[in-house]
A = this chain, B = another copy of it.
Amino acid sequence: MDKSYFRELFRSELVNPVFIEGLPGFGNVGKIAARLLVKSTQAKLFTELYSPFLPDYVMVNREGICRPPRYEFYASSKEKISLIILTGDAQPSVDGITAHYELCGEILDFIERYGCRFIVTLGGLPLPQPAKEVYVAATSQKLAADFVERGALIYGRGRIMGATGLLLGLAKKRRLDGIALLGATRGIRSDHEAGLSVFNFLTKAFEIKVE
């Protein structure tokens, strides 16, 4: 396998979906928030992504069944807005810089084929004294201001690592709009609280009905 492989389980009908990414990272905040969103919207797994850029082990579940690490795309179209939610097992190794660029490009190609024009990336922001606050960075000043009005703080003068940053940056270059929502976290262990804060902010801001 020398290329990424999108395995489409079924063709999802989605109208102008918003793309939401939450992969493992600081405090696993993004992944936790994305998993909560999948559950609460009863989104369906419609595509798996396998890639030589992901780690070279297999994961074994409780029953002893193994599979390579993968990304998962879930579709939800019961809300006022359609959603494509990306979560997954791992990020490319930190050595693999071009890997990150290629994989993010492939993901953006994929969601653009579904007509997606707006992306939200979810992640953690490592802070010494996190207090459940949510930070925003955006592809435009207007967008950043919008989400500050809804209660987020500006994340200014910094960097956003990995897919959470790069998807947004590359989306901007394609003239897509988008924001990153970053939950403050100590960032060492899985931080469920920070994940919940990001999830709550997200569902409220996008008026996603939670079950």
Contact = CB atoms under 8 A, between A and B. Distances in A.
A66 B138 contact: yes
Contacts of A92: 97
Interface string A71-114: 00000000000000000000011011111111011000000000
Interface residues of A, number: 58
Given A139-B66, A156-B62, A97 B53 contact: yes
Given A95-B95, A156-B62, A56 B101 contact: yes
A137 B64 contact: yes
Interface stretch (A9-17, A38-46, A157-165): A157-165
A99 to B, nearest CB: 7
A160 B52 contact: no
A67 B209 CA distance: 32
Interface in A27-72: 50, 52-68
A156 B173 CA distance: 43
Contact residues of A: prevailing secondary structure = mixed
**Closest 4 A/B residue pairs (Cβ):** A52-B101, A68-B169, A58-B169, A58-B165
A149 interface: no
A98 B170 contact: no
A60 B158 contact: yes
Contact of A57 (B50, B53, B65, B160): B160
9 contacts: A52-B98, A53-B98, A56-B161, A56-B166, A57-B166, A66-B138, A66-B160, A92-B97, A96-B98
A149 to B, nearest CB: 13
Contacts of A60: 137, 155-160
A63 B139 CA distance: 10
Contact of A66 (B2, B5, B64, B169): B169
B67 A172 contact: yes
